[in-house]
């Protein structure tokens, strides 16, 4: 809701729908009041790096 690009450009629901339809697990993290910039991404980047390192 704080992200001005969310609804018109990023449209994460399209990704979620496509993953669901294809049977692909997706963890889509959104938080009210945050955009997709550094402050939000920095709250979970360590988790993301651990996920990639494990593969």
pLDDT-derived band at 31, boundaries 50, 70, 90? confident
Q: Region 39-44: what's the mean pLDDT?
A: 86
For residue 39, tell me if it sits in a domain: yes
For residue 1, tell me if it sits in a domain: no
For residue 23, tell me if it sits in a domain: yes
pLDDT-derived band at 1, boundaries 50, 70, 90? low
Q: Residue 37 above 80 pLDDT?
A: yes
Classify residue 45 as exposed, middle or buried by CB count within 10 Å of its CB (0-12, 13-18, 19+): exposed
Structural domain of 19: 6-53
Q: Residue 27 above 70 pLDDT?
A: yes
For residue 44, tell me if it sits in a domain: yes
For residue 42, tell me if it sits in a domain: yes
Q: What is the pLDDT of residue 19?
A: 98
How many structural domains is the chain composed of? Answer: 1
For residue 49, tell me if it sits in a domain: yes
């Amino acid at each position: 809701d704080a992200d001005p690009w969310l609804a018109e450009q990023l449209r994460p629901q399209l990704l979620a729908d496509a993953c669901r339809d294809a049977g692909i697990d997706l963890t889509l993290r959104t938080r009210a009041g945050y955009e997709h910039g550094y402050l939000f991404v920095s709250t979970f980047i360590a988790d993301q790096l651990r996920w990639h390192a494990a593969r």
